[in-house]
Amino acid sequence: MEPKDTFFSKKRSIKCKGEIFDLSEPKIMGILNVTPDSFFDGGRYKSLEDIQNHVNEMIIEGCDILDIGAYSSRPGAEMITEKEELNRLIPVLELIKKQFPDIIISVDTFRSGIAKHVVTHFNVDIINDISSGDMDKDMFQTIAELNVPYIMMHMKGTPQTMYQNPEYKNVVKEVMEYFSQKVQQLKLIGVSDFIIDPGFGFGKTIEHNYQLLNHLKDFRIFEIPVLVGLSRKSMIFKTLNTTPEESLNGTSVLNTLALLGGANILRVHDIKEAKETIKLVNKFSNAFVDDWYD
């Protein structure tokens, strides 16, 4: 019996580092926040040596993409200048490009100027934009000119306002309509390598988040890779009445559901556990019984 042609098993890929980056098996994006105020690991890596040791550990554990963020997007985060964001990024990028030249690097920024600088000067491979161009009108055209893969995320509001009673008539329908418009805009200017991120926790209540997760398979209609970022978020620890530090088990549970829903990339703090989750879900998904009806 042939395996079913499900969304989970279909081939997905983007062009990265001049080569095809195959997403037919889900990949792990490791989070590296070089901020003092991110919700889970802000201020944890106080020196370049700390950062080097942490990145080395993530790569050993199976990190496929390293996502570097220098602007905290936690609810109510302080707005910093473009200069400050770049000052945080430059020494880290210099270190990683020297010590880990083969790792695929994504920079988490909504600013087109930052995107242009890091791609031009550091050959950053992917731009990860929490606002899908909504916070910088020049971002889409900049991505088209840079010709790098682009991750676009749905967020209602900004990091400063997104937690203020977000409302939707139908969150799944509205997020899908949002991406439909964005995909069309990008295709019209020649961008072909992009990834969508439903934006769990960004301008959504806990109920909205679980509705999106429950309907993740609906995003197959775009035939575009899907990134999911659930790691240690409030939809876990508020539901369980715990803390981000106690949310690793919950993260693995929700990552399992996301993989079964078709996620191609897991954005996580904990690489080893995500790697194990992918391995087990792959085993489950490929466990077809040929003689079931014999």
Tell me which residues are annotated as active site.
233, 267
Half-sphere exposure of 51 (CA within 13 A, CB side): 25
Q: Which of 109, 76, 26 is nearest to 202 (CA)?
A: 76
Q: Using CA atoms, how far apart are residues 27 and 64, in angstroms rounded to an integer?
A: 6
The burial class, CB within 10 Å (0-12 / 13-18 / 19+), for 49 is exposed
Q: Which residues share a beta bridge with 153?
A: 197
Residue type, 210: Y
Q: Using CA atoms, how far apart are residues 154 and 133, in angstroms rounded to an integer?
A: 10
Contacts 24+ apart (CB under 8 A), 15-19: 15/149, 15/193, 16/104, 16/125, 16/126, 16/149, 16/193, 17/104, 17/125
